[in-house]
Structure formats: C-alpha cells, structure tokens
Amino acid sequence: MKRMRGWHRFLFGLPLILLLTHLFSVKELQQSSQTMEPPEKLNKKFDHLVLGPAAGQGLSNRLQCQGTKALNRTHGSNGRSSLEDSVAFVTVFTIYNSSVNTADDKAIKTEVGSASYNKVERSMAVLNAFINFIKVAMPRSNVIILTDPKSDFSVQRSQVTLYPIQGEYSRDKLMLQRIRSYIAFLDSRHKMLSQRPGNITHYIFTDSDMAVVDDLGQIFHDHPNFDLALTFRNNKGQPINSGFIAVRGTPDAILRAKLFLQDVLRVYRMEYMKASRMLGDQLALASVVKSKPQFDANRFSKTVAFTEDIRGTKVLFLPCAMYNWTPPEGAGQFRGMPLDVKVVHFKGSRKRLMLESWNFYSSSLDIPDMLCLILASGRTKYDF
C-alpha cells in the first residue's frame, strides 16, 4: 500500500493520466461488442514497439503510409518563421526522491532503445522528449515547468525554466492543484504585463506526455479573437480534454482566461471533489462550458473549430483530432490520422511509444515518417 502511494505521488501528470485512461478503456470496452481484436489482446501491455497496419488508408484526408514511410508530406514546410508573436509552453511536473526509496523502484529498469530507466528516470525521459519535440517544431518557444517547491529535479536545457508554486500536490489534490497552478501562473503574468506592457507571449498549457509536431503559433493568427482555447472531442461525458489549454498573451485575455479557470476551479470544488477526483477537471470544464444557455453540444461531434462567449470569456474550441490527437482507446472507431495533426497525446499506456517516436525521429529527422510509426502502433498499450 505504501509503495502504491509512492508510485502515485512521485510524478504529477503521468500516472494519473494512466489511471484515468484505464478507466476510459474499461468503459469503452464495455460499450462496444464489435471489436476486431479480442479484449485480452487490447489489454496486453508490451515492452517493445508493436506495429500493425496503419488505419485510414485510402481515405483522402488521412495520412497515407507504406510501413513507416509517409506518402503525404504535410509537415515542416509552412513558413513558421513568419509568425512574430512568441509562444511559451507551460506544463506541471513534480518528482520526489522519496518515491524511489524502495529497492524495487531502484532496481527495476525499463529498456527503451539503448537506454535503461528506473521509474523516475522514465518520467524524466518523457519530460525530455516533450521538450525535444518543442525544440524541433517551435525552436524559439520557451518551456516553463510549474512545480512543487519541494520537488527534486532539475532540467539543464536552454529555454526551459522551472517555476515553483506553493500548493498541495498530494495524489487526491493533483488535478485541483494543476488548475490552481495555472491560475497562479496567469496571475503572475498579468502582474508582470502591467509593469512591462507590450511584451506579449501566448501560453499553451499542456500535459507533458504530448509531442508538438507543427507550429502552433498559427492558432493565435488564424483565430484573432479568442481569450482561451480548449480541445474537444466527440465524447458525451467528457467532451473537453484538459491536456491542452491555450491562452492569448494580452493582459485582457490573460485576465479573462484566469476568471474562466477560477470558475472551473469553483465548480470542481463544489461538484466533483467526491464524485471522481481523477476526472474532476475535465468534468468541471465541460460543466462550465455547458452552463452557457443554449450551448449547442452537437458541435462536439464535428471536427470544426468554433468560438463561444462563456461567462465573458471568448473560448475557442479546437478539435482534438488536430490539436490533441490520440488513437481511440479500447474498441472505439479508428479512422486513421488527419493529415494536419499538430499535437500527438501519448495518453495512458503510450509513454513508451513517445520515447520510441523521439528515437525514431532522431535518426530519421522526418516528422511524417514518425507519424506513420505512431499511426501503425495504433491502440497498442505499452508497459508505461
């Protein structure tokens, strides 16, 4: 029991998301009786890369692959340097030394490629891969890591800074603390802007198990009027994924984004503390969004971006299919990967695939080919 607690405590986002996904997959499995693969196979976890046929072949708006060779070259050529505004990524991450104190945690090593990691090293490897992908897709972007002042890690990378925020990082408060940290961060930026107006940096708050594979600065150009952006999917219970939240860097937008998140925090504390602490933030987000009178939730079933004014904040809804793509879990329908995918989310048991993808990219220097690798891996679950 003690060890379990350690495992859940030592790191912020990852194990939590792992647990979360486990819940989702069980639910999805129950819903579908027509699955190609037997459930035992879906639930088996692998310690090596498992590739199968790529989904979506023959569909004109989906990535076409021959093995891990991409036939469509849609990434990397769209004049990214033309966007003037800067964008910074913000993620919450904590690691405690005490979580690897048991002999097991120190001894059990996981091999990925030529590297070997214990639990803590594995989480650090995911964080490093997250940073690596940003450095490729958006080399001028800074990465800001919000963390517990008591956390035991350091990151020696250019353009990466740690930002300690006092709070309650215990297991059952994690998702709550994350929203609090976002609010505290936005508050500090708002104060800074009042001293140095004109220094505009847009912020994208993400989970650290995500690979940014294209320039996201265009969001702020293509949609000039939003304060805060969320990603949506066609899922009745949890239409909003909390892993990606973009905030425009103007003082006004930062203030409105902060007010919106304060509403989410309030709803979370009032309604979702007991119900489900792991899903709480997503349920609270959906609840605030749907509190808008006459909100048309049918739009979540299409993959077209739209904007809504919610309690005074202009909220842009971006499709997960492009900005938070993950293959469907369990037996959900899988129609392949959109050609213009910009962010891949290695939710749940896909962290190994994230590291393998980075290794593949490091030797091929080819994002579309790497996307074929990810696509061919499909719903495979891995050992971490």
- Shortest Å, Cβ 327 to ligand NAG: 19
Beta carbon nearer to ligand NAG, 261 or 267: 261
Beta carbon nearer to ligand NAG, 28 or 187: 187
Beta carbon nearer to ligand NAG, 126 or 339: 339
**If you write DSSP's letter for every residue of 124-141 in order, what string do you get?**
HHHHHHHHHHHHHH-TT-
Would you count residue 196 as binding ligand NAG (CB under 6 A)? yes
Beta carbon nearer to ligand NAG, 128 or 201: 201
Query: Which residue in 14, 219, 339, 355 binds ligand NAG (CB under 6 A)?
Result: 339
Q: How far apart are CA 137 and CA 211, in angstroms?
A: 9
Where does this chain touch ligand NAG (CB under 6 A) — which range of 33-41, 195-203, 272-280, 359-367?
Answer: 195-203
Listed in order, strand segments (DSSP E) in 81-239 are: 86-92, 110-112, 115-117, 142-147, 160-164, 201-206, 210-212, 228-232
Burial of residue 273, with CB atoms counted within 10 A of its CB: 0-12 exposed, 13-18 middle, 19 or more buried: middle
Query: Which residue in 28, 152, 187, 340 binds ligand NAG (CB under 6 A)?
Result: 152
Would you count residue 31 as binding ligand NAG (CB under 6 A)? no
Would you count residue 105 as binding ligand NAG (CB under 6 A)? no
- The tokens describing 272, both together, are 């979702």
Q: How far apart are CA 55 and CA 62, in angstroms?
A: 9
Query: Which residue in 201, 218, 234, 287 binds ligand NAG (CB under 6 A)?
Result: 201
Would you count residue 78 as binding ligand NAG (CB under 6 A)? no
Would you count residue 97 as binding ligand NAG (CB under 6 A)? yes
* CA neighbor of 307 nearest in space, from 246, 369, 255: 246
Where does this chain touch ligand NAG (CB under 6 A) — which range of 170-178, 196-204, 315-323, 343-351?
Answer: 196-204
Q: How far apart are CA 58 and CA 308, in angstroms?
A: 35
- The tokens describing 133, both together, are 């992908």
Would you count residue 64 as binding ligand NAG (CB under 6 A)? yes
Dihedral angle computed from the Cα positions of residues 175, 177, 180 and 186, in that order, rounded to the nearest 10 degrees: -90
Would you count residue 2 as binding ligand NAG (CB under 6 A)? no
> Distance between alpha carbon 187 and the CA centroid of its chain, in Å?
22
Q: How far apart are CA 202 and CA 88, in angstroms?
A: 6
Would you count residue 218 as binding ligand NAG (CB under 6 A)? no
Where does this chain touch ligand NAG (CB under 6 A) — which range of 64-72, 129-137, 226-234, 366-374?
Answer: 64-72
**Total residue count of the chain as it appears in this document:** 384
> Where along the sequence are the contacts to ligand NAG (CB under 6 A)?
64, 71-72, 88, 97, 152, 196, 199, 201, 339
